[in-house]
């Protein structure tokens, strides 16, 4: 009795230990400082094991010269690449295996039978890395090909050996189940386990970027400095934003553009609703179909293509100029895409051209679901066309309109940047640059990472606050909300 109690306890303990090790190895996979594959300084120090395994170009990004001059052979990098893939797969299968160990006795045994070969796979990969390391040691330019076995190498060896040991121990401790025992696991846990890969992807691509906010508090230049305590500058960039005249001017200008263009959009957000209300008044349903089909097409082409069309129509040798010149209405061509006159209005117009027909569809569908007897009885009561529109159609569209309005208000600062990027040129940049485009130009084009991160961060926070307050307001005022 006591013995079996102790046995169960050790199984539990070792199992948990195994899971911790498996998760730890998965996390370490993303850490550049613990990359087992970085056996030479020719590999960029920001490269993690995961990166080495999915990006050969990143792995060799700084080794091009060394390979060309034959200090090292390309083959060694191929070995490192393949080895990284093997180790990563080993980690992945170990993780899957330890996930399966949540199940019943039979599934547990299966899971450890999976983990042992996975760990061997890891060791094979590590052996490959060791081979490459030895090969680097024979290089003619050891001063440039600084080679070493990184700390991560030993960590992964330890992990692999530990998982093998744990698996063997657990296989010995867990008694062999009856032959006809089925594989089984608690259903509620099965679901979570199957959901895990997606949760991991979400975490990596939607939550991990939040870590990037720390760049707003450091003095950081891409590729030059790394984040360390001495480059921590606290709120320097916040004060910089207000103290630096040029930046402040930029921000004010960009905010003006953003607010004006978003306001234009909000002020005309009812257009699709009106569009739908009047379109359904057309009697011929084939005509309605025709209009609907062709006015939605612009929504499905990219902004780059919209710009291509804009060039064809409005540039110096485009449709309008050709027509006017050939008809003799004008003697000189005008490029309507240059200059910043009416640029806010023009941007609004392009947005409306692209989106009006599409946004109207939802209202058209809502109208078609209104009870027709309402209209019939209104007609009998002598209501005219406009009265019916005002008192029947409009009120039934309002809920949809308000939901969309909430979303539009929440996105007040996010005009998106594609449209403005493609239409931007030297003559209109002062009036067309919106916040999103500014962040892109500052961060990606000019490499000013801390400041652009800071601006993006403030924007994200304001957007969330906006969303919640508008949602709350709408809950109170109209008893409607999006969540």
Partner 1 sequence: MKALTINGKGKIGDFVFNLINYSFFTAFTIACIYPFYYLFINTISDNGLVQRGLITFIPKGIHLTNYIALAEVNELGTSFLVTISRTVIGTVLMVGVSAFAGYLVTRKEMQNRKFWYRFLIITMYFDAGLIPWYLNMSMLGLTNNFLGYIIPGIVAPFNVILVKTYIESIPVELEESAFIDGAGYLTVFRHIIWPLSKPILATIAVFGAVGHWNSFMDSLILMQGSPHLQTVQHRLYNYLNQASNLDAIMSRSGAVKDVLDSKVIKYTISMVTIIPILVVYPFMQRYFERGIMLGAVKG
Footprint of partner 1 on residues 83-142 (CB under 8 A)? Answer: none
Task: Tell me if 161 sits within 8 A of 94, measured CB to CB.
Answer: no
Residues numbered 228-247 forming contacts with partner 1, rule: CB under 8 A: none
Q: How many other C-beta atoms are found inside a 10 Å radius of the C-beta of residue 321? A: 19
Q: For partner 1, what does the binding mask look like between residues 253 and 282, x meaning CB under 8 A?
A: -------------------------xx-xx
According to DSSP, residue 427 is labeled T
Work out whether 300 is an interface residue with partner 1 (CB under 8 A). yes
- Stretch binding partner 1 (CB under 8 A), from 103-111, 158-166, 206-214, 257-265: 206-214
Member of 107, 259, 266, 422 binding partner 1 (CB under 8 A):
422
Q: How far apart are CA 67 and CA 74, in angstroms?
A: 6
The least distance separating partner 1 from the CB of residue 474, rounded to whole angstroms, comes to 11
Q: Is 341 helix (H, G, I), strand (E, B) or coil?
A: coil
The least distance separating partner 1 from the CB of residue 374, rounded to whole angstroms, comes to 20
Q: For partner 1, what does the binding mask look like between residues 373 and 412, x meaning CB under 8 A?
A: ------------x--------------x--xx--x--x--
Q: For partner 1, what does the binding mask look like between residues 312 and 351, x meaning CB under 8 A?
A: xx---x-x-xxx-xx-------------------------
Residues numbered 423-462 forming contacts with partner 1, rule: CB under 8 A: 436, 439-440, 443-444, 449, 452-453, 456-457, 459-460
Nearest CA to 23 among 200, 150, 171, 152?
200
Q: How far apart are CA 404 and CA 482, in angstroms?
A: 9
The least distance separating partner 1 from the CB of residue 283, rounded to whole angstroms, comes to 8
Take residue 404 and report the two structure tokens written for it. 């969309």
Beta-bridge mates of residue 212: none
Nearer to partner 1, 394 or 403 (CB): 403
Member of 1, 211, 224, 229 binding partner 1 (CB under 8 A):
211
According to DSSP, residue 332 is labeled S
The least distance separating partner 1 from the CB of residue 437, rounded to whole angstroms, comes to 10
Nearer to partner 1, 140 or 226 (CB): 226
* DSSP annotation string for 372-402: HHHHHHHHHTT--HHHHIIIIIHHHHHHHHH
Beta-bridge mates of residue 40: 147
Member of 105, 244, 269, 296 binding partner 1 (CB under 8 A):
296
Residues numbered 134-193 forming contacts with partner 1, rule: CB under 8 A: 187-192
First to last CA, the chain: 54
Residue with tokens 């539990």: 12
The least distance separating partner 1 from the CB of residue 388, rounded to whole angstroms, comes to 13
Nearer to partner 1, 98 or 453 (CB): 453
The least distance separating partner 1 from the CB of residue 1, rounded to whole angstroms, comes to 32
According to DSSP, residue 13 is labeled H
Nearer to partner 1, 135 or 335 (CB): 335
* DSSP annotation string for 161-212: HHHHHHHHHHHHHSPPPPTTPPP---HHHHHHHHHHHHHHHHIIIIIGGGGG
Member of 22, 28, 114, 467 binding partner 1 (CB under 8 A):
467
Task: Tell me if 279 sits within 8 A of 291, measured CB to CB.
Answer: yes
Nearer to partner 1, 138 or 184 (CB): 184
Query: Burial, 451: exposed, middle or buried (Cβ in 10 Å; 0-12, 13-18, 19+)?
Result: buried
The least distance separating partner 1 from the CB of residue 324, rounded to whole angstroms, comes to 10
Residues numbered 30-89 forming contacts with partner 1, rule: CB under 8 A: 30, 32, 46-48, 50-52, 54-55, 57-58
* DSSP annotation string for 213-231: GGGGGB---TTT----GGG
Task: Tell me if 50 sits within 8 A of 58, measured CB to CB.
Answer: no
């Amino acid at each position: 009795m006591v013995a079996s109690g102790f046995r169960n306890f050790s199984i539990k303990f070792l199992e948990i230990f195994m899971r911790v090790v498996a998760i730890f190895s998965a996390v370490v996979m993303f850490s550049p400082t613990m990359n087992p594959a970085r056996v030479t300084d020719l590999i960029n120090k920001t490269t993690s094991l995961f990166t080495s395994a999915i990006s050969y170009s990143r792995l060799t990004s700084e080794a091009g010269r060394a390979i060309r001059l034959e200090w090292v052979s390309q083959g060694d990098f191929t070995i490192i690449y393949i080895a990284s893939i093997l180790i990563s797969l080993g980690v992945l299968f170990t993780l899957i295996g330890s996930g399966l160990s949540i199940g019943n006795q039979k599934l547990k045994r299966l899971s450890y039978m999976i983990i042992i070969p996975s760990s061997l796979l890891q060791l094979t990969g590590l052996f490959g890395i060791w081979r490459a390391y030895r090969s680097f040691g024979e290089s003619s330019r050891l001063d440039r090909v600084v080679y070493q076995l990184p700390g991560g190498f030993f960590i992964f060896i330890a992990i692999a050996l530990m998982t093998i040991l744990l698996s063997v121990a657990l296989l010995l401790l867990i008694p062999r189940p009856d032959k006809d025992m089925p594989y089984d696991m608690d259903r509620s846990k099965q679901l979570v386990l199957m959901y895990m890969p997606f949760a991991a992807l979400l975490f990596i691509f939607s939550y991990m970027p939040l870590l990037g906010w720390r760049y707003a508090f450091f003095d950081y230049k891409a590729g030059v400095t790394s984040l360390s305590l001495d480059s921590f500058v606290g709120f320097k960039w916040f004060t910089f934003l207000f103290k630096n005249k040029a930046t402040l001017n930029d921000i004010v200008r960009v905010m003006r553009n953003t607010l004006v263009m978003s306001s234009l959009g909000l002020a005309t957000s009812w257009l699709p609703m009106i569009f739908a209300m009047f379109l359904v008044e057309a009697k011929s349903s084939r005509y309605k179909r025709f209009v609907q089909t062709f006015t939605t097409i612009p929504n499905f082409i990219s902004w780059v293509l919209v710009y291509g069309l804009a060039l064809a129509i409005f540039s110096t040798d485009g449709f309008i100029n050709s027509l006017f010149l050939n008809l003799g209405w004008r003697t000189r061509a005008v490029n309507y895409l240059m200059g910043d006159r009416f640029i806010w209005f023009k941007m609004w117009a392009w947005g409306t051209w692209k989106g009006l027909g599409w946004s109207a569809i939802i209202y058209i569908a809502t109208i078609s679901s209104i009870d027709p007897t309402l209209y019939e009885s209104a007609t009998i009561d002598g209501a005219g066309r406009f009265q019916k529109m005002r008192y029947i159609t409009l009120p039934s569209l309002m809920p949809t309109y308000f939901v969309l309005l909430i979303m539009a208000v929440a996105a007040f600062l996010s005009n998106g940047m594609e449209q403005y990027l493609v239409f931007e040129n030297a003559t209109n940049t002062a009036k067309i640059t919106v916040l999103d485009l500014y962040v892109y130009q500052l961060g990606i084009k000019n490499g000013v990472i801390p400041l652009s991160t800071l601006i993006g961060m403030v924007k994200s926070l304001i957007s969330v606050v906006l969303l919640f307050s508008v949602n709350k307001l709408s809950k109170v005022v109209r008893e409607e909300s999006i969540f």
